[in-house]
Amino acid sequence: MSKKSYLYSGLFVGIFIATLVIFYWFFKSPYFLIVDTWVKANIVLYVIYLFIYKSIGVLFPPIPAGLVTMASIPFLGWFNAYLVDFFGSLFGGIIAYFLGKKYGHPLLNKILGSDLTEKIEKVKIKKDKEIEGVFVYRLAFGSTILEAIYYGAGFLKIGFKNFLIGSTLSHIVIGVPSFFLANNILNGQNITFTIILTIVGIMFVIFTKGRYFE
């Protein structure tokens, strides 16, 4: 893992923590009650909006859709907020997969940028390790843009079934601890345990990456 990748990972973690601090301030402010009242009165509309927003966020990564779904934890509970994030991510991911497969390099270059597209082009996933490769692929770029996996998998011609299984498993393994961690930080509970769990997960990805990439 390069120094630049470590820098990206550190930046990602820093932004994640800073965002949680902002969320914590908001949830303790008088504005929270106003928003909470509206969400409870329009719960179905809110979930639909959240699902669509998350799906669009996958197709256009600069949109911070994951942070918005995570910010919904106090309104929906961490597990329900995660489910919306999961299904929105998978729905948008399937669309991105086929777009990446059909339009290839020009589309990836326009959406993800030339540097990230070049990184994706250099990835060689072993044919008998596609599911595991997709799983590890999510953090292979130093957490630059996690959604790159969806366009990249189609571009690299990874089998759709393997892509779907790998994406689902990776989202669960990465997403559940992230939402659980966010919930605990917002509630001030089990912070040490969840941070250790997250670090262990990241170290696992770093040390097993070579098994799935040529």
Domain ranges of the chain: 3-211
Q: Give the 3-state secondary structure of residue 110.
A: helix
Instruction: Give the distance between the most distant pair of CA atoms in the chain.
Output: 54
Residue-wise pLDDT for 85-139, tens only, equals 999 999 999 999 999 888 888 888 887 777 777 777 776 666 666 666 665 666 5
> Alpha-carbon distance 108 to 87, whole Å?
23
Q: Give the 3-state secondary structure of residue 213.
A: strand
Mean pLDDT is highest, among 33-42, 174-183, 204-213, for 33-42
CA-closest candidate to residue 202, choices 141, 156, 139, 153: 139
Full DSSP string of 59-71: HSTTS-HHHHHHH
CA-closest candidate to residue 68, choices 41, 39, 42, 91: 39
- Region of residue 29 (left: phi > 0; alpha: psi -120 to 50; beta: else): beta
> Alpha-carbon distance 69 to 48, whole Å?
12
pTM: 0.74
193: number of Cβ within 10 Å: 12
Residue-wise pLDDT for 14-58, tens only, equals 666 676 677 777 777 888 888 889 999 999 999 999 999 999 988
45: number of Cβ within 10 Å: 11
* Token code pair at residue 161: 């079934």
| Structural contact between residues 71 and 78, judged by C-beta atoms closer than 8 angstroms | no
Residue type, 115: D
